């Protein structure tokens, strides 16, 4: 009987370890210590033992009962104290606080940066508040050139402005780093224009510039393709057509088939089925000269990716204004 008592005690203690709530504990108590409980039954058998065994076993049985009753009481108290809070278990993995997420623009910017870093490009930053010289003149857009009209912006009193494109960094980079040069410069740009589904007054571009000996259009197209497959991870329809920018010669417009409507026509692509994504071209000799580079020795390509438009295409966002709205219902989807 002593052995039986020891085994029963072990079993009860084991089951007590799993007790998480008062109801479970109460049921366990009835099962073992109740009127018809297993321990109570053993206690009842003591009276049938031989006379010389009775005192020893009876004492042990009462001790076990008392010990278990105390443990039940203690466990009940712990359960009540930790009610509503989880018992601390140092072996459990830590809990994570719900955090925000990166803005979709930042996510795509990082993807593009990674793709270009693999191609040997470095990532640079530069001023958003710019001089007339770097934003226009050094890009072969002198005062009174009609190309200025296509990029009206917010002017300050000292002939400075909020940059209209990331091309403002082309000459700055050549001046600072010289050649050979391979870099991208993502950032915010500003234009004084009416907004619609695909135009905002503040948006993001990502400029690319590569200048070295013997750079040609083949290099430019290879880099464009690498970029698009890194971002979309699948083939997308693009078209290349001639485009005019005073700082490239020849110049191209790279359009992407609108992924919001699959090319059928919508407000994002202005019913055309195509979205202007990435103008590009071979750097104009005048720009190289402004950067202190000899155009007879060096050539290069540049592109100005509309990063915000790229995000719209990637996530099929049908209104550009959502991206800067700060609306959490929109942002929580990314
Ligand atoms: C430029 O800004 C040139 N600096 C691009 C360039 C760089 C050409 C290097 C050649 C060599 P554009 O104004 O077209 O070009 O703008 C470039 C891209 O920015 C557009 O294709 C479009 O994707 C995006 N974009 C232009 N205006 C807006 C706008 N208001 N809202 C959102 N995206 C815009």
Any atom of ligand 1 within 6 Å of the Cβ of 304: yes
Find the angle CA(194)-CA(195)-CA(199) to the nearest 5 degrees. 115
Burial classification of residue 96, based on how many CB atoms lie within 10 Å of its CB (0-12 exposed, 13-18 middle, 19 or more buried): exposed
Distance CA 112, CA 233 (A): 12
Distance CA 6, CA 39 (A): 11
Any atom of ligand 1 within 6 Å of the Cβ of 183: no
What confidence score (pLDDT) does residue 285 get?
A: 98
Any atom of ligand 1 within 6 Å of the Cβ of 191: yes
Better-predicted residue by pLDDT, 186 or 143: 186
166 alpha carbon – ligand 1 mean position (Å): 9
- Atom nearest to 193 CA in ligand 1: 30
- Atom nearest to 251 CA in ligand 1: 10
279 alpha carbon – ligand 1 mean position (Å): 7
Cβ atoms of 58 and 50 closer than 8 Å:
no
CATH numeric code, 104-331: 3.30.930.10
pTM: 0.73
Is the pLDDT at 85 greater than 60? The verdict is: no
Is the pLDDT at 105 greater than 70? The verdict is: yes
How confident is residue 97, by pLDDT bands cut at 50, 70 and 90? confident
What confidence score (pLDDT) does residue 157 get?
A: 85
What is the DSSP annotation of 245-308?
Answer: -TTEEEEEEEEEE-TTTTTS--TTTTTSSEEEEEEEEEEPHHHHHHTT--TTT-EEEEEEEEHH
- Atom nearest to 278 CA in ligand 1: 21
Is the pLDDT at 84 greater than 60? The verdict is: no
Distance CA 150, CA 24 (A): 76
- Atom nearest to 191 CA in ligand 1: 30
Nearest CA to ligand 1 atom 2: 165
Sequence spans of domains, the chain: 2-81, 104-331
Any atom of ligand 1 within 6 Å of the Cβ of 308: yes
Ligand 1, pocket-test mutation among 147, 217, 276, most atoms within 8 A of CB: 276
How confident is residue 144, by pLDDT bands cut at 50, 70 and 90? confident
Three-state SS for 229?
helix
165 alpha carbon – ligand 1 mean position (Å): 7
> Per-residue pLDDT tens for 239-281?
999 999 999 999 999 999 999 999 999 999 999 999 999 999 9
């Amino acid at each position: 009987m002593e052995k039986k008592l020891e085994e029963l005690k072990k079993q009860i203690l084991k089951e007590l370890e799993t007790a998480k709530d008062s109801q479970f504990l109460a049921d366990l108590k009835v099962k073992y210590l109740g009127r018809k409980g297993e321990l109570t039954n053993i206690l009842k058998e003591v009276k049938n033992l031989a006379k010389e065994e009775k005192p020893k076993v009876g004492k042990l049985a009462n001790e076990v009962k008392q010990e278990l009753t105390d443990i039940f009481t203690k466990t009940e108290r712990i359960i009540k104290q930790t009610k509503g809070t989880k018992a601390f278990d140092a072996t459990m993995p830590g809990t994570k606080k719900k955090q925000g997420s990166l803005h979709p623009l930042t996510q795509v910017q990082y993807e593009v940066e990674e793709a270009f870093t693999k191609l040997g490009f470095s990532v640079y930053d530069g001023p958003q508040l710019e001089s007339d010289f770097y934003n226009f003149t050094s890009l072969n857009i002198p005062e009174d050139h009609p190309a200025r009209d296509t990029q009206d912006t917010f002017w300050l009193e000292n002939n400075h402005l909020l940059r209209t494109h990331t091309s403002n960094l082309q000459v700055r980079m050549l001046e600072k780093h010289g050649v050979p040069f391979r870099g991208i410069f993502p950032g915010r740009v500003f234009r004084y224009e009416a907004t619609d589904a695909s135009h905002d007054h503040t948006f993001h571009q990502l400029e690319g510039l590569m200048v070295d000996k013997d750079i040609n259009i083949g290099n430019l197209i290879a880099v464009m393709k690498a970029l698009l497959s890194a971002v979309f991870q699948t083939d997308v329809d693009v078209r290349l057509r001639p485009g005019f920018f005073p700082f490239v010669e020849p110049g191209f417009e790279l359009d992407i088939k609108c992924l919001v409507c699959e090319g059928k026509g919508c407000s994002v692509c202005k019913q055309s089925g195509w979205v202007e994504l990435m103008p590009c071209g071979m750097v104009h000799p005048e720009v190289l000269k402004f950067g202190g580079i000899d155009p007879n020795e060096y050539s290069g390509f540049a592109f100005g990716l509309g990063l915000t438009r790229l995000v719209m295409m990637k996530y099929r966002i049908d209104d550009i204004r959502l991206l800067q709205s700060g609306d959490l219902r929109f942002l929580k989807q990314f």
